[in-house]
Structure 1
Amino acid sequence: MFAALKSALHSATTQHYRLLRKTYSAEELYGYSLYTDDSLCSIGPVANTSSQIAAAATDPMYNYYRYGPHEWSLWADHGLFDEANDILKAIHADQSLDFDSKRDGMLKAAFVALTEAEAEGLFGPRTPTRFLALWLSDSADPIMVEAAKALNSHDVFSAFCSEYANKN
C-alpha cells in the first residue's frame, strides 16, 4: 500500500506542478509543499509565489511567511490528489498495522515522492530562492526538517531553520 501511495503522490505532484507552471514562471513560483497533519487523513499540495508572500523581505516575519506552507496561497489540488487520498483511507482502514506504523509509512511515501520528483528535475535546479517542503500542520515532526534539508539548497535550508527548525 505504501508503494502505491508513493506512486500516486509522485504522479499527482508531477501533474499538479506542471499545471501550476502553465500559469506561473519558475522564478515566480518559488514554493511547493505536500501538506497534511499529524493524523494523515488527507494530503494535498500547497504552493506560493513570490508576489503572494504576506510580508516584505525587510519584515522580521518574512521567513515565517516565505517558508511556512500553512501561510501560502495556492491550495487548489484540481482533483489530482484524489487517488492518493483514497489510498490514505485504505491504509487507515487496514487493521494489520498500528497507527504509528501506518503514519511512518505514509510520511516516508510522501517524502520519497517529493525526493524523486525533485531528483527528476520537476522543480528545476536548486537555487537560493526555490523552496520545497513536506509540511505537517501544527506539528513538530522531524520529517519536516529532514525534508527541507534534503530538498533545498544550503542557503534556503538555513533560512528555513532560522524560523522553523526549533519552532514547528
Structure 2
Amino acid sequence: MKNLTLMCAFFLAMPFAVAAKGDKQGPGGSPAAPREVREIKMADQAVLETLALSVSPSTMYRCSKSAATCSGPNKASLGLALLAARNSKASLEALAQLVRYQLDGEISEDFTCHISEKGKAVAPYLINLNPERLLRRCVDDLGKFKTNSGLDIPSGEVCSDVKTISEKKGELIEMINSRSKCANEDF
C-alpha cells in the first residue's frame, strides 16, 4: 500500500516539474516571460503525461484496483485551459501545437472550442505548423517521459502521425475561416 501511495504521489507531481530559470523562450523560440514559459511547459507536460498514462497498461491496472488512484480533475483539461487562458504569442503557439497529440473525447472537444474561441489570433500559428517537426517533438517528449517513468507507452497511441496532424491543422484553419464557434455550454 505504501508503494502504491508513493507511485501515486510521483505521477501526480510529475506534470508540475518546471523549466530551468534561464529559459526565456516559448515553444517555437518566441520570447515569453519566465513565468509564462514555465506555465506553458507545465501545461504541455500535463497534457502529454495524461495522454500517456491513459494508455499505459500498468496505469490502467492501478486505476482498476483503486478508483482514488485516477480520480480528481483531469490534468490535460487543466493544462489545456491554462494554455488557452492567455493571448500571448507563446501561449497561442503552444495551444496550436497540441495538434501533435491524439486528443479524443472531452479534451478534443475542448481543444477545438478553444481554437474556435481564439479564432484569427491563433490562425498564423496553425498555418506555420510543421507536422514532421511536431511528430518528432511528440515522440522525443514521450520518450523522455517513458524513460523517467519506466512505463511502457506506445507512442502511436499518444502522438498523431504526420497525415493526421496535417488534416487536423487544415480542419482547424477551415473552422476559423468559417467563423464557427462553440456554444458556451461546450466549455
TM class by shorter chain equals 0.3 to 0.5
TM-score, normalised with respect to structure 1:
0.34
Q: Which has the higher helix share?
A: 2
**Structure ranking higher on relative contact order (CA contacts 8 Å, 6+ apart):** 1
TM-score, normalised with respect to structure 2:
0.32
Answer with 1 or 2: which has the greater Rg: 2
Q: Which has the higher strand share?
A: 1
